[in-house]
C-alpha cells in the first residue's frame, strides 16, 4: 500500500484548519498550522511534506512572503496559494516571488483541493525522480572520471614497466638476470590482465541483467576455488570449506561468483609470507531467507585507518602485493545488486574475515 | 660541472619491476654511488629524516605518483615540511606513467620538485636529467 501524501495547510482561521483536516484526513496525512511560525517548525520536523497549501492573508506574514522565504530552504514541497482576493498583483507576486505551483480561489470546493493535491503530487514525484536521476548521473560521471584516471596508471603502468624491462634485457648478457627480468615482466602482465578482468566484471554488473536461478553452493564454490588452486599450492595455502545447504536457493550465480572470486583472490593474495599454516576458510550456510558466506584468512589483515575505505573504488590499503583497488568495490557493487550486505572484521598481522549475506530471491523466475 | 662525481639515488615506487628498472638504468650510467629503493613512500621519508645517507652532495630522488597509502604528492608535501637542513641536499624528480592533466598541472606547484619524467626510465632521459642537475 502506498503511503499517504503528507500535506501542510496554513491558515490563521482556526475554523478553516479544522474543516480542512476533517475533510481530507482520510485521504492524506494532514498537518495544520495557524501561523507561519508553526509551519516552519513543521517543515523542519517533517522532511517528507509533499504539498504546502497556504492562505494569502495572515497577520504576521502573507502567504507569498512565506513561500518566498521557505522555497530555498525547502525546495521540494509543492507550493499552493489559497486566497479570496483575486487581485492580479498578488497573483503575479505569487508566481514570480513565491514560485507557486497552483493558485486556489476561496471559497474552495473539496474537489478543487483534491485535484490540486493529486496534480501537485505527480509534479513532486516527477521532480524527485529527476533529482534522483541527476544524482545517479553525477555518480556515474564521477566514476567515469576515476576510471579514466586509473586507466592511465593501471593499464599504462604495467605496459611501460614491461617496455622498460625489455630495453634493460636487451643490454643484458647474464642469462639468469634475463630470466629474472622475464619473471617480473610476467607479473606485470598478469597484473594488467587482472585489471582488465576486473573492468569486465565491473561492466557486466553495471549493464547485465540478473538471471535468478537455483544455486548449488557446493558447485559454485568449487568453481571459484578451482581458480586459485595452483596459486594456493605454490604458496602453500590450505583451502578449508564447508557448505550447509538443505534448501534450494535462488539468486544470480554470475554475480555471486564475482563476490566469491574477489574475496578468495584477496584472501590468497594478502597472506603473510612468514606464516607456515596459511589458510583460507570459506563457510556457507543457506536458510530459507538468506545465504551467509564467511571468508576468513590468517593473512596480513587490514589496518584500522583503512578499514572504512576498503570498498571505495581504486582504494588500496597496502602496498604489498598487486592490488588494483577494484576488487572489493566490485564486491560491494555486486552485493548491492543482489540486495546483500558485507561486513568485515580484521586485525593487523592476524587476518581478515568477511561476512556476506545474500537474500533469497523467493520467486525463482524473477 | 662535476661530471665524474658519483651520486646517491633514492627510488620510490610501489612496483617492484619499476624499482628494478630504475636501479638498473641508474647503475648503468656509471655515475652511481648508491641506489636505495623503497616500495613505500613512508619508509623513504623516514630514511630521509634519519639522514641515513649522510651525504654532502646532492641526492637524486625519483618518486612515482600513484602509490597506495602515501602517494607521490603526499610524499612531496611531507618532505617539504622537513627542516631545511634535512632536505637541502635532495633533488626530487617525479616519475610516472600518468598522462592525467590534474597530475601534470599539480607538479609545478611543488617548489621542491625539479622536473617530471615519463615512465619508463631510460638511460637517455636519466643522462639528460643528470646533465642538467646541479
Structural domains in chain B, CATH included, are 7-132 (3.40.50.2300)
Q: Which residue of A has its CA nearest to B41?
A: A319
Q: Is A303 or A88 the better-scoring residue by pLDDT?
A: A303
**Predicted confidence band of residue A12 (pLDDT cuts 50, 70, 90):** very high
Residues of B with CB under 8 A from a CB of A: 14-18, 20-21, 24-25, 28, 39-40, 66-69, 96-100, 102, 119-122
| A318 in reach of chain B (CB within 8 A) | yes
The domain segmentation of chain A, as residue ranges, is 5-108, 137-208, 209-366
* Contact by Cβ (8 Å): B75, B41: yes
The pLDDT score that the predictor gives to residue A60 is 85
- Closest CB from A160, A168, A181 relative to B97: A160
Q: Which residue of A has its CA nearest to B95?
A: A157
- Closest CB from A149, A161, A319 relative to B120: A161
The pLDDT score that the predictor gives to residue A1 is 45
- B100 interaction partners in chain A (CB closer than 8 Å): 148-149, 152
Q: Poorest-confidence range of A113-122, A341-350, B66-75?
A: B66-75
Lookup: cell for A132: 534522483
Q: How many CA atoms lie within 13 A of A325 on its CB side?
A: 22
Q: What are phi and psi of A319, to 5 degrees?
A: -95, 0
**Predicted confidence band of residue A211 (pLDDT cuts 50, 70, 90):** confident
CATH topology assigned to domain A137-208: Helix Hairpins (1.10.287)
- Closest CB from A149, A181, A306 relative to B100: A149
| SS (HEC) of A13-33 | CHHHHHHHHHHHCCCEEEEEE
The pLDDT score that the predictor gives to residue A154 is 77
CA distance B45 to B52: 11
What would the CATH number be for the domain defined by A209-366?
3.30.565.10
| A190 in reach of chain B (CB within 8 A) | no
Lookup: cell for A53: 497549501
Mean pLDDT taken over chain A? 87
A49 has a pLDDT exceeding 70: yes
- Summarize pLDDT for B44-86 with one digit per residue, the tens: 999 999 877 777 888 999 999 988 788 899 999 999 999 998 8
Residues A319, B16: C-beta atoms closer than 8 Å: no
Give the whole-number percent of chain A exceeding pLDDT 90.
48
The crossing angle, in degrees rounded to 10, of helices B16-28 and A175-207 is 140
* Contact by Cβ (8 Å): A31, A65: no
- A157 interaction partners in chain B (CB closer than 8 Å): 15, 18, 66, 97, 119
The pLDDT score that the predictor gives to residue B53 is 77
The pLDDT score that the predictor gives to residue A311 is 85
The pLDDT score that the predictor gives to residue A134 is 93
E-strand spans in chain A? 5-10, 28-33, 51-55, 78-83, 102-105, 212-214, 238-245, 250-252, 279-286, 290-297, 341-347, 351-359
**Predicted confidence band of residue A123 (pLDDT cuts 50, 70, 90):** very high
CA distance A78 to A67: 10
| SS (HEC) of A86-144 | CCHHHHHHHHHCCCCCEEEECCCCHHHHHHHHHHHHHHHHHHHHHHHHHHHHHHHHHHH
| A173 in reach of chain B (CB within 8 A) | no
A319 has a pLDDT exceeding 90: no
CA distance B85 to chain A (A): 30
A21 has a pLDDT exceeding 50: yes
- B121 interaction partners in chain A (CB closer than 8 Å): 164
Give the whole-number percent of chain B exceeding pLDDT 90.
49
What would the CATH number be for the domain defined by A5-108?
3.40.50.2300
Q: What are phi and psi of B77, to 5 degrees?
A: -60, -45
CA distance A67 to chain B (A): 43
CA distance B133 to chain A (A): 23
Lookup: cell for B98: 600518468
A132 has a pLDDT exceeding 60: yes
Lookup: cell for A84: 479570496
Which of the 8 DSSP states describes residue A227?
T
- A312 interaction partners in chain B (CB closer than 8 Å): none
- Closest CB from A148, A153, A184 relative to B20: A184
- Summarize pLDDT for A220-253 with one digit per residue, the tens: 999 888 888 877 887 889 999 999 999 999 999 8
B1 has a pLDDT exceeding 50: no
CA distance A68 to chain B (A): 41
Interface predicted TM-score of the whole assembly (ipTM), two decimals: 0.81
**Predicted confidence band of residue A317 (pLDDT cuts 50, 70, 90):** confident
Sign of CA dihedral A68, A74, A78, A83: negative
End-to-end CA distance of chain A: 21
| A323 in reach of chain B (CB within 8 A) | yes
The pLDDT score that the predictor gives to residue A315 is 78
Return the residue in A147, A168, A323 with the most chain B beta carbons within 10 A, the one to mutate for interface testing.
A168
A365 has a pLDDT exceeding 50: no
The pLDDT score that the predictor gives to residue A366 is 40
**Predicted confidence band of residue A105 (pLDDT cuts 50, 70, 90):** confident
A42 has a pLDDT exceeding 90: yes
| A181 in reach of chain B (CB within 8 A) | yes
CA distance A347 to chain B (A): 18
- Summarize pLDDT for A149-181 with one digit per residue, the tens: 777 777 888 898 899 999 889 888 899 989 988
- Summarize pLDDT for A59-92 with one digit per residue, the tens: 888 898 999 999 999 999 999 999 876 677 777 8
Distance of CA A213 to the CA centre of its chain: 24
CA distance A316 to B124: 33
CA distance B88 to chain A (A): 28
Amino acid at each position: 500500500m502506498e503511503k499517504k501524501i503528507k500535506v501542510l495547510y496554513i491558515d490563521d482561521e482556526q475554523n478553516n484548519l479544522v474543516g480542512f483536516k476533517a475533510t481530507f484526513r482520510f485521504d492524506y496525512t494532514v498537518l495544520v498550522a495557524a501561523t507561519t511560525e508553526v509551519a516552519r517548525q513543521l517543515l523542519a520536523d517533517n522532511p517528507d511534506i509533499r504539498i504546502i497549501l497556504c492562505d494569502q492573508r495572515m497577520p504576521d506574514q502573507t502567504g507569498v512572503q512565506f513561500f518566498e522565504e521557505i522555497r530555498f530552504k525547502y525546495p521540494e514541497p509543492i507550493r499552493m496559494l489559497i486566497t479570496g482576493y483575486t487581485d492580479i498583483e498578488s497573483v503575479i507576486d505569487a508566481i514570480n516571488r513565491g514560485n507557486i505551483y497552483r493558485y486556489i480561489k476561496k471559497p474552495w470546493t473539496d474537489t478543487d483541493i483534491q485535484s490540486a493535491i493529486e496534480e501537485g503530487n505527480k509534479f513532486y514525484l516527477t521532480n524527485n525522480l529527476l533529482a534522483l536521476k541527476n544524482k545517479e548521473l553525477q555518480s556515474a560521471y564521477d566514476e567515469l572520471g576515476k576510471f579514466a584516471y586509473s586507466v592511465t596508471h593501471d593499464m599504462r603502468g604495467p605496459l611501460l614497466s614491461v617496455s622498460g624491462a625489455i630495453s634493460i634485457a636487451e643490454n643484458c648478457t647474464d642469462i639468469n638476470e634475463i630470466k629474472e627480468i622475464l619473471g617480473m615482466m610476467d607479473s606485470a602482465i598478469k597484473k594488467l590482465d587482472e585489471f582488465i578482468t576486473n573492468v569486465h566484471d565491473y561492466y557486466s554488473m553495471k549493464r547485465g541483467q540478473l538471471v535468478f536461478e537455483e544455486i548449488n553452493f557446493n558447485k559454485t564454490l568449487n568453481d571459484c576455488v578451482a581458480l586459485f588452486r595452483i596459486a594456493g599450492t605454490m604458496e602453500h595455502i590450505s583451502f578449508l570449506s564447508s557448505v550447509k545447504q538443505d534448501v534450494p536457493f535462488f539468486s544470480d550465480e554470475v554475480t555471486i561468483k564475482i563476490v566469491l572470486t574477489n574475496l578468495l583472490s584477496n584472501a590468497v593474495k594478502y597472506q603473510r609470507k612468514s606464516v607456515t599454516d596459511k589458510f583460507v576458510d570459506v563457510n556457507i550456510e543457506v536458510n530459507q531467507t538468506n545465504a551467509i558466506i564467511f571468508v576468513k584468512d590468517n593473512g596480513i589483515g587490514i589496518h584500522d585507518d583503512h578499514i572504512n575505505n576498503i570498498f571505495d573504488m581504486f582504494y588500496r590499503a597496502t602496498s604489498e602485493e598487486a592490488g588494483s583497488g577494484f576488487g572489493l568495490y566490485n564486491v560491494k557493487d555486486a552485493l548491492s545488486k543482489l540486495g546483500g550486505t558485507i561486513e568485515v572484521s580484521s586485525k593487523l598481522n592476524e587476518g581478515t574475515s568477511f561476512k556476506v549475506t545474500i537474500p533469497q530471491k523467493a520467486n525463482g523466475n524473477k | 660541472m662535476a661530471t665524474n662525481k658519483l651520486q646517491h639515488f633514492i627510488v620510490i615506487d610501489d612496483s617492484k619491476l619499476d624499482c628494478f628498472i630504475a636501479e638498473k638504468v641508474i647503475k648503468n650510467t656509471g655515475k652511481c654511488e648508491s641506489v636505495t629503493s623503497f616500495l613505500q613512500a613512508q619508509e623513504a621519508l623516514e630514511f630521509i629524516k634519519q639522514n641515513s645517507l649522510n651525504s654532502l652532495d646532492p641526492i637524486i630522488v625519483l618518486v612515482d605518483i600513484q602509490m597506495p597509502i602515501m602517494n607521490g604528492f603526499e610524499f612531496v608535501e611531507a618532505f617539504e615540511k622537513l627542516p631545511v637542513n634535512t632536505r637541502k641536499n635532495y633533488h626530487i624528480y617525479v616519475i610516472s606513467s600518468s598522462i592525467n592533466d590534474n597530475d601534470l598541472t599539480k607538479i609545478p606547484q611543488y617548489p621542491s620538485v625539479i622536473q617530471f619524467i615519463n615512465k619508463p626510465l631510460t638511460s637517455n632521459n636519466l643522462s639528460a636529467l643528470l646533465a642538467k642537475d646541479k
